[in-house]
């Protein structure tokens, strides 16, 4: 599609389909996972509470068993030689069984407590009795002689639980204390319904189903086989898992009791669990279809409205490109296209103003450069130079006049050369030496000038004739005020880091006072500290910034009566094919 209207229609359709469908599916999946996770957590918590109830009950029963097996009276009665049916036997039996009965008082989960000895003696309470055969069978299990708690399942009595502890005398087992739990104990503990339609099953450490909470749950008659099949499935992760049994999916949760090693399994059909989520899915499909239809209609109307103003803005831009800079779009809307139209009109107006301003600045810059070139050589400097030449010509016939004249000609040639604004530091130092060759006759060698330039800086560019006014300031105002004062001017150029070139001009003249320094910074007294060139410190700073940017320029440090240092900071910029000739020179 080549038109914006067609592209917008297609893009809206694709974007909405790509957005709504994944969001709907993600919402459905997230809701399913949240429900599954919540169900898993809820079932797990219910099973853990049941397991905790089982734990606390077994521990309480175990405490009763401990009291019985550690009672001296019980052990002595079990070891005594008194036999039935004597009066002593009756008294002994009544005393032990009354004590056992007192241990079971108010413990509704205890059906019966029995103490059986390896010598055949038995003490019991309650009405339901464990057969003598079963008790003898317990005595025959060697592992029950270990001094710890033992939990057994009596499958013959509706899966009744037995808690057994050995009774020791002299470090040797002489009998067993057997606590029989009520037949409905497992039902009372595990008859939990954390969710509607769930099933709870308990499997012992041998893999045998010892309890389940349903008889014909979900239309399945053989629940034991279903629970055993789920139990046998290998598990590597904790929490809930979806299982498929006979084509139906179930959410199962397994928790192993660390007390007796039994596994409690919670099972709930996913059809029952996700019944409300399925309704949400149907509603979301219907809403998605309706939203897509509405968005398609809106996108058609909106794209037509947007493209109408965009076409109008496009035609105006074509006119501007053709040279009609005053052309403006007439779009009076408050939407983004209207704002774009206003910004375009404002931008074109600003562009026109910038073009006029740029043209005016260019004219002013050319005039300023011309005036700066004209003022490179101060008339006062030319006057003093010519007086010096005239003075020498009168008093002696020496080649010095030719040297001064040649130096003046070279300075004049560079001053009026408009082809190059930037020259290598090498050439700038050569010009400075010519200037100094003139000034040394004026100061009669009482000022020594030393130039020390690193070789790596000689090909770096510098605005021409910026060192001359700085050195001239040092000569005139550092030493010219005191005709008898001798001094030294040191000029050094070196690299600072990988990007900057530093040129220091240091003299030991009279220095700059605090008031003069403030005037320099405020551009108020430039005429008091500038040299004979008429350029001055401020002009040098402006020329450097104009050539290289605001981060470059110069700074002044002065201690009156001791020294003054002017530091120029320049970039390490070189001409293509620049020379790398070394230069370390001294001028006296």
pLDDT digits (tens, 9 = 90+) for 247-272: 677 778 888 877 777 888 888 777 76
When pLDDT is cut at 50, 70 and 90, the band that residue 426 belongs to is very high
Length of the chain: 588
Which residue did the predictor score with more confidence, 171 or 427?
A: 427
Which residue did the predictor score with more confidence, 557 or 421?
A: 557
**Is the pTM higher than 0.85?**
no
- Is the pLDDT assigned to residue 227 strictly greater than 70? yes
Matching CATH topology for 4-185 and 195-273? yes
Write the CB contacts of 337 (distance below 8 Å, at least 6 apart in sequence). Answer: 306, 309, 310, 313, 331
The residue-averaged pLDDT of 363-376 equals 60
- Cα distance from N-terminal residue to C-terminal residue, the chain: 82
pLDDT 10s digits, 301-321 = 777 777 777 778 888 888 888
When pLDDT is cut at 50, 70 and 90, the band that residue 587 belongs to is very low
CB 436 within 8 A of CB 469: no
Strand spans (E) along 497-562: 500-507, 553-559
- Is the pLDDT assigned to residue 61 strictly greater than 50? yes
C-alpha distances (whole Å) from 165 to each of 61, 178, 185 are 11, 7, 20
Q: Class for domain 195-273, per CATH?
A: alpha beta
CB 570 within 8 A of CB 424: no
pLDDT 10s digits, 64-115 = 999 999 988 888 888 888 877 788 888 888 898 899 888 888 888 888 888 9
Helix (H) or strand (E) holding 466: none
- Is the pLDDT assigned to residue 451 strictly greater than 90? yes
pLDDT 10s digits, 23-42 = 777 877 787 777 777 777 77
pLDDT of residue 395: 63
Q: Where exactly are the structural domains of the chain?
A: 4-185, 195-273, 328-375, 420-525+536-571
pLDDT of residue 526: 47
CA atoms of 194 and 38, how far apart (whole Å): 11
Query: What angle in degrees, to the nearest 10, is found between the helix axes of 275-321 and 336-374?
Result: 40
Domain 4-185: CATH superfamily, name plus number:
PAS domain (3.30.450.20)
CA atoms of 379 and 381, how far apart (whole Å): 5
Which residue did the predictor score with more confidence, 526 or 428?
A: 428
CA atoms of 262 and 50, how far apart (whole Å): 12
Which residue did the predictor score with more confidence, 572 or 401?
A: 572
Q: Of 447, 478, 456, which Cα lies nearest the Cα of 565?
A: 478
- Give, as one character, the DSSP assignment of residue 215: S
The residue-averaged pLDDT of 119-140 equals 76
- Does domain 420-525+536-571 correspond to CATH entry 3.30.565.10? yes
């Amino acid at each position: 599609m080549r038109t914006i209207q067609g592209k917008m229609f297609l893009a809206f359709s694709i974007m909405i389909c790509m957005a709504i469908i994944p969001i709907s599916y993600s919402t459905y999946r997230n809701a399913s996972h949240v429900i599954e996770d919540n169900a898993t957590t809820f079932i797990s918590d219910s099973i853990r509470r049941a397991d905790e109830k089982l734990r606390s009950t077994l521990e309480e029963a175990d405490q009763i068993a401990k009291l019985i097996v550690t009672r001296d009276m019980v052990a002595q009665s079990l070891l005594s030689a008194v036999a039935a049916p004597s009066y002593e036997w009756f008294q002994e039996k009544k005393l032990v069984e009354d004590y056992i009965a007192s241990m079971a008082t108010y413990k509704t989960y205890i059906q019966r407590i029995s103490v059986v000895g390896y010598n055949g003696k038995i003490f019991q309470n309650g009405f339901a009795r464990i057969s003598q055969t079963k008790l003898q069978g317990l005595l025959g299990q060697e592992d029950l002689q270990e001094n710890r708690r033992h939990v057994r399942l009596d499958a013959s009595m509706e899966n009744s639980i037995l808690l057994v502890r050995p009774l020791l005398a002299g470090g040797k087992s002489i009998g067993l204390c057997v606590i029989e739990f009520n037949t409905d104990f497992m039902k009372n503990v595990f008859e939990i319904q954390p969710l509607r339609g769930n099933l709870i099953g308990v499997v012992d450490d041998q893999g045998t189903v010892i309890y389940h909470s349903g008889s014909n749950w979900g239309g399945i008659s053989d629940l034991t086989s279903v629970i055993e099949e789920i139990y046998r499935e290998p598990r590597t992760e904790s929490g809930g898992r979806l299982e498929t049994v006979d084509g139906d999916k179930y959410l199962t949760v397994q928790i192993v009791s660390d007390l007796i090693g039994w596994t409690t399994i919670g099972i709930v059909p996913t059809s029952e669990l996700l019944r409300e989520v399925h309704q949400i899915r149907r509603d979301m499909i219907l809403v998605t279809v309706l939203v897509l239809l509405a968005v398609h209609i809106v996108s058609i109307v909106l794209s037509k409205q947007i493209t109408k103003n965009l076409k109008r803005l496009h035609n105006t831009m074509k006119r501007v490109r053709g040279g009609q800079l005053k052309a403006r779009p007439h779009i009076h809307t408050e939407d983004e296209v209207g704002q774009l139209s206003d910004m375009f009109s404002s931008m074109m107006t600003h562009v026109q103003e910038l073009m006029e301003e740029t043209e005016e600045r260019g004219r002013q810059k050319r005039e300023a450069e011309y005036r700066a070139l004209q003022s490179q050589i101060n008339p006062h400097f030319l006057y003093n130079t010519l007086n010096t030449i005239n003075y020498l010509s009168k008093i002696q016939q020496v080649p010095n006049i030719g040297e001064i004249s040649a130096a003046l000609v070279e300075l004049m040639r560079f001053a009026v050369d408009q082809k190059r604004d930037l020259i290598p530091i090498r050439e700038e130092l050569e010009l400075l030496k010519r200037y100094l060759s003139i000034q040394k006759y004026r100061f009669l060698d009482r000022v020594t000038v030393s130039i020390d330039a690193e070789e790596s800086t000689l090909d770096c560019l510098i605005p021409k004739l910026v060192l001359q006014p700085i050195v001239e300031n040092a000569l005139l105002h550092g030493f010219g005020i005191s005709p008898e004062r001798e001094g030294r001017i040191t000029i050094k150029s070196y690299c600072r880091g990988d990007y900057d070139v530093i040129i220091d001009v240091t003299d030991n003249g009279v220095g700059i006072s605090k008031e003069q320094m403030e005037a320099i910074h405020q551009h108020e007294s430039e005429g008091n500290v500038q040299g004979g060139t008429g350029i001055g410190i401020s002009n040098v700073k402006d020329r450097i910034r104009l050539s290289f940017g605001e981060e470059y320029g110069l700074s002044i440090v002065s201690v009156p009566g001791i020294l003054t240092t002017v530091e120029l900071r320049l970039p390490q910029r070189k001409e293509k094919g620049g020379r790398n000739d070394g230069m370390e020179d001294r001028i006296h």
